[in-house]
Amino acid sequence: MKKSKKIIKINISNIKKLRFMEIFLFILLFLLILRIAYLQFIQGSSLSKAASSQQTYTKTIVPERGTIYDSNGKVLAISAEVDTVSVNPSKLAYSNGDKVNFEFVAQSFSNIFGLDYATVLEKLNTDTSSVTIASKVDNEKIELLRNWMETNEIYSGINIDSSIKRSYPYNNLACHMLGFTGTDNNGLFGLENSLDSILSGTVGKVVTLTDSVNGEIPNQEQSYIDAQDGSNVYLTIDVNIQSIAEKYLSQAVVDNVADYGTVIIMEPSTGNILAMANYPDYNLNTPFTPTDTNIANSWNSMTSQEQTDYLYEMWRNEAVQNTYEPGSTFKIITAAIGLEEGIVDENTEDVFYCAGNEVVDNIPINCWRHTNPHLGQSLKEALANSCNPAFIQLGLQIGAPTLYKYYDAFGLLSTTNSQFYGESGSVFYDRDSIRKFELATMSFGQGINVTPLQLITAVSAIANEGTLMQPRIIDKIVDPNTGSTTTPEPVQVRQVVSKETANEVMDMLDYAVSDGTGKYADVKGYSVGGKSGTSENLGQGDGTYVASFMGFSPTVNTQAVILVALYNPQGKSFQGGEIAGPVVSQIFSEILPYIGVASTSNTSSDYETKTMPDLENKTIAEARELLQSYGFDVHIDSSIQDTELVVNQMPKKGAQLLDNADVFLYTDSSNVATSVTVPNFKGMSVSEAINVAAEHNLNITLDGSGIVISQDIAAETPVEIGTVINLTLKSELNGGW
């Protein structure tokens, strides 16, 4: 039997399809290999970096900003951690999930943070996912908030975010010099800005690997770069001296109805700035709040540009950023140049002649005493008399090339290279094309512009035996990271004039206070030299004046130089000797004993005084008898019994009182002491001042003779009855330029 054969038919089309699939898969595999090779070898580096970036989480570590101290270690600016409280209204809920009543939350927040209830409630009733309730909140209030949240079991929807707040414990003190920081904690103005690189420190960071959902990958090493905190800076200013300077400057600006005022106090041997201030001032803790009442009332109606312009003007440090015509204070420089060049000596009589004016280029330039001219004078007399014709004659003899050589040497043609923010330069005539008339006015401080800092630095060289010092504001820098201390040494710029010339000028300045137009700057018991200045704003042509005074004390081994300038005074006088000189006297009278300068006077007043005894715990009868034996007038509430004990007295024990002084005694059963408003004693005679003080139930002390030129508590200040007001008197003085 034959086996049958199977015939297998192969479908050619299927084979083709199979081969096509094989080829297609091969091509895909080849393309995939090419793609992998491209990604690996061509884009491998960039993809690796991108992957690393996506898997890396970097957290910034903010350094602590350095603290600013005064020379005695008192804090002027410090950074502290504060918090911002925000709320997500839609998520406000109790721990059990129940919604929280917004009225309850608004009332609680207004109580904790001292906010307006309606404003907080309005914020909570918005559709915004997050609203800020309070910024820059201190730890005490945050603790109150946390306790409230815990007590009411409210945790959801309330966020507390930490940040750093810069605060200024003395508020307005030295505001223009210190400046302030912005929301990013970087310095915006003043020393906060110019010393920012020292104070700000270096940012640190933590680098961590994360997974696809940003979770930290365990067992992975972290890269940690520690932040370097900013260094602490100790300034040369002294809070006590700064406070004294600001007290008397503000009084002078108010009393003389001036636009503003400036004061600088410098230690000439080191260039140390002991105080620097302008008034009006502002609060460093609220630098965007206008201080002018009229501006504040119209703030919302002002344009954005108008608001910005006002704030920039409010923040401006006039002492280093503004220039002015120095007037007769500049005669100190001209006199020093004339002496150094041997053109004139100090005492030769009639070397200058004042006919009431000096004609230059057919233009008469008046002396301030043109109706009663000084006639023949020595250089010493001309400086004491502040005679313009005499200094015109001297300036023309010196000549422009020599004057400019010394202006440059005194540092008046450039900035002082101080570390103050925004320091301006001076404005002088072109030395190669200066005319005779300009040379004449320049010799007595008109037609040129300098900053107050430039001028006090220049004249301090004369008080420092002719050696110019660079202004110094940093006493030392302490790095908290290493504990190291850097002390910038005082910088001697150059010897400008000889020691002999400097001593002669100081002798003339002493004479200008004792016998010249600087009499109002005198301080009993101390040698004081000085020069008044009254300059017209010729460049602005607005008819305004700058009244200034440059004071030195002691006149041998000078410890302090003071410049006071009052801009556009509208009071009874605009002459520097009369209104700026007394301010210098007031400041010296307080700071000289403070810095250890010994007084040569054994008594503090020309008028006999008696010391107020301690009366506490004495019976009223005993106290009355004792006070009457001193010649004092005793004031006691009529309801008080003689057997009651004294618990308070005004004036306090130790006060120096004149005869018939008013003394007020209080017991536990007596009425609370009342207050009175201090009157304006300026311009009064002794008898007038005594009578006015009695009318106001106040006491006075008197230093000097003549009329009252200053008082240590400003007029219109409320004080307790019986308070002692210290009055300074001077004899009448005509002039004062």
The verdict on 49 and 85 lying in the same domain is no
Statement to judge: residues 576 and 673 lie in one domain: no
Whole-number pLDDT of residue 300:
92
Domain boundary among 195, 215, 231: 231
583 and 687 both lie in a single domain: no
Query: Does residue 583 share a domain with residue 552?
Result: yes
pLDDT of residue 737: 66
Does residue 230 register a pLDDT over 70? Answer: yes
87 shares a domain with 44: no
Q: Is the pLDDT of residue 243 over 70?
A: yes
Q: Given this model, what pLDDT does residue 513 score? A: 94
What spatial distance separates the first Cα and last Cα of the chain, rounded to whole Å? 154
Whole-structure pTM value: 0.77
Whether 312 is in a domain gets the answer no
Question: What mean pLDDT do residues 643-656 have?
Answer: 89
Residue 301 covered by a domain: no
Query: Looking at residue 425, what is its pLDDT?
Result: 93
Statement to judge: residues 140 and 44 lie in one domain: no
Least confident of 125-139, 296-310, 508-522: 125-139
Residue 435 CA neighbour count, 13 Å, CB half: 7
| Contact between 246 and 446 (Cβ < 8 Å) | no
Give the CATH number for residue 211: 3.30.70.2110
Do residue 153 and residue 95 come from a single domain? yes
Residue 476 sits in a domain whose CATH number is 3.40.710.10
Q: In this predicted structure, which of 63-72, 300-309, 415-424, 673-682 has the lowest mean pLDDT?
A: 673-682
Last residue of a domain, one of 216, 231, 246: 231
Q: Is 105 strand, coil or helix?
A: helix
- With a pLDDT cut of 70, the percent of the chain lying above it is 90
Decide if 535 is inside a domain. yes
Give the residue-averaged pLDDT of 712-734: 82
Residues 24 and 109 in one domain: no
- State the chain's mean pLDDT as an integer: 88
Provide the residue range defining the domain that includes 43: 15-54
Asked if the structure places residue 307 within a domain, the reply is: no
182 located within any domain? no
Higher pLDDT: 117 or 209? It is 117
Percent of the chain with pLDDT over 90: 58
pLDDT tens-digit readout, 321-365: 999 999 999 999 999 999 999 999 999 999 999 999 999 999 999
pLDDT, average across residues 635-658: 89
Calpha distance 165→62 (Å, rounded): 13
Q: Are strands 474-478 and 232-235 parallel, antiparallel or unpaired?
A: antiparallel
Could you tell me if 495 and 584 lie in one domain?
Answer: yes
pLDDT over threshold 90, residue 135: no
Same domain, 335 and 482: yes
In a domain, 565, yes or no: yes
> Is 73 part of a structural domain of the chain?
no
In this predicted structure, the answer to whether residue 603 has a pLDDT above a threshold of 60 is: no
Q: Per the omega criterion (within 30 degrees of 0), is the bond before 718 cis?
A: no
Judge contact between 241 and 274, C-beta under 8 A.
yes
Judge contact between 560 and 553, C-beta under 8 A.
Answer: yes
Model confidence at 214, pLDDT cuts 50, 70, 90, reads: very low
How crowded is residue 396: how many other Cβ atoms within 10 Å of its Cβ? 15
Verify that 439 and 480 share a domain, yes or no: yes
For residues 276 and 210, which has the higher predicted lDDT (pLDDT)? Answer: 276
Query: Does 147 lie in the same domain as 106?
Result: yes
pLDDT at 213: 44
pLDDT in tens, 163-188: 778 999 999 999 999 999 987 788 99
In the sheet that 223-225 helps form, which strands lie side by side, from edge to edge?
56-61, 204-209, 223-225
- pLDDT(225) > 80: no
In a domain, residue 260? The reply is: no
Q: How many domains does the chain have?
A: 4
